[in-house]
Amino acid sequence: MVVRVGVLGATGAVGQRLIELLDPHPEFELAALTASESSAGKTYREAAKWRAESPIPADVADVTVTETDPGAVANDVDLLFSSLPSSVGAAVEPAFCEAGYVVSSNSSNERMAPDVPLVIPEVNAEHVDLLEVQRDERGWDGALVKNPNCSTITFVPTLAALEAFGIERVHVATLQAVSGAGYDGVTSMEIIDNALPHIGGEAEKLETESRKLLGTFDGATLDHHDVEVAASCNRIPTLDGHLENVWVETATDLDVEQAKTAMAEYPSIGLRSSPDPLIEVFDEPDRPQPRLDRDLGDGMAVSAGGFRESRFGLQYNCLAHNTIRGAAGASVLNGELLVENGYL
């Protein structure tokens, strides 16, 4: 089955990653590109400041970018990947869903809405069936699915792997790459030779999205996990790859070897973009590192290392590529799950 797909916000940092992933994808045919009014009417080559290492795919470069409006996207496009600023997503994503499009979105708007599935397929694929509730409540032919924030995606799979030990309390400190702020997000004067110990709204996203992702869905209601999460978020001058320091307190004893085994054996899922293994476990105390390890599993793997038993529970570091596993790749994977589960 080949699904015709489009990208909303196709010219941005995440939009460009989506183009890179969708252009060679055997089941998705790229058929619509949208951006702001200032890009609409231009070819993709003119509108996008292309920054990826590979050239713009030849069959995308001369496609005309349209406005981000349901009327501007062809009716035979079924699935849209959204990488819009959240204020824009909040305004237009519901209009696309109402018009019958299925939207797999990166933007933070509605991530915590009770009828919107927030999904990492390897962690909580069953939450996607919350779409039945969403369609009942909103009367949409389309549907809205979200992937979590890039720093949330980095540590939640490692917590899911430890769930059997009863995760009760988590502290996490992030070291986040500049690409996570988008192209216009952090200026060179702010970040070179520096670290920024605050990212607006980010800590709250880790603290709330993690509980929703690890929650249980009974077919009607989603109950959030009662784990307590405290986060501190820092921007550092790496280009891609969020590194996180994690401390986990569990109900039952958990030693280093048990944690490493649980993560190494945590199952993947048989979707095209899901890596196997999902979690790469390092024995070395100084791994993972952003430059060395962010491309594991084509940028879709999470890696973990630096395990030790501490006064505040098990301590480790984890890493994921923020614009691939944390954004574009996460949306594509959710798109594959939607196809697999018959939502298209």
Contacts of 222 (CB under 8 A, 6+ apart): 114, 127, 130, 212, 215, 216
239 lies in the site for ligand NAP, by CB under 6 A? no
Q: Alpha-carbon distance 175 to 237, whole Å?
A: 9
- Please indicate whether residue 171 is annotated as part of the active site: no
Q: Alpha-carbon distance 181 to 138, whole Å?
A: 32
Out of 3, 5, 6, 12, the residue judged to bind ligand NAP by CB under 6 A: 12
Contacts of 218 (CB under 8 A, 6+ apart): none
Out of 3, 5, 6, 15, the residue judged to bind ligand NAP by CB under 6 A: 15
Considering the complex, state which of residue 7 and residue 281 has its C-beta at the smaller distance from ligand NAP.
7
Q: Alpha-carbon distance 224 to 130, whole Å?
A: 14
Instruction: Name which of residues 129 to 158 contact ligand NAP (CB under 6 A).
Output: 149-150
68 lies in the site for ligand NAP, by CB under 6 A? yes
Phi and psi, residue 111, nearest 5°: -60, -35
- Please indicate whether residue 225 is annotated as part of the active site: no
Q: Alpha-carbon distance 170 to 250, whole Å?
A: 9
323 lies in the site for ligand NAP, by CB under 6 A? yes
- Tokens 């996570």 sit on residue: 180
Minimum gap (Å) between residue 87 Cβ and ligand NAP: 8
Peptide bond into 277 cis (omega under 30): yes
43 lies in the site for ligand NAP, by CB under 6 A? no
Out of 86, 232, 245, 268, the residue judged to bind ligand NAP by CB under 6 A: 86
Instruction: Name which of residues 93 to 112 contact ligand NAP (CB under 6 A).
Output: 106-108
Count of residues in contact with ligand NAP, rule CB under 6 A: 31
125 lies in the site for ligand NAP, by CB under 6 A? no
Considering the complex, state which of residue 68 and residue 158 has its C-beta at the smaller distance from ligand NAP.
68
Site pattern 171..190 for ligand NAP (x: CB under 6 A): --------xx-xxx------
Question: Tell me, what amino acid is at 110?
Answer: E
Considering the complex, state which of residue 43 and residue 86 has its C-beta at the smaller distance from ligand NAP.
86
Minimum gap (Å) between residue 161 Cβ and ligand NAP: 22
Choices 112-120, 196-204, 250-258, 321-329; region in contact with ligand NAP by CB under 6 A: 321-329
Task: Identify which of 11, 323, 281, 16 has the alpha carbon closest to the alpha carbon of residue 177.
Answer: 323
Task: Identify which of 186, 293, 167 has the alpha carbon closest to the alpha carbon of residue 234.
Answer: 186
167-176 and 242-250 beta bridge pairing: antiparallel
Q: Is 66 helix (H, G, I), strand (E, B) or coil?
A: strand
Q: Closest residue (Cβ) to ligand NAP?
A: 12
CB atoms < 10 A from the CB of 90, how many? 14
- Which residues are part of the catalytic machinery? 150, 242
Q: Applying CB under 6 A, which residues contact ligand NAP?
A: 9-15, 35-36, 38-39, 68, 83-86, 88, 106-108, 149-150, 179-180, 182-184, 322-323, 326-327
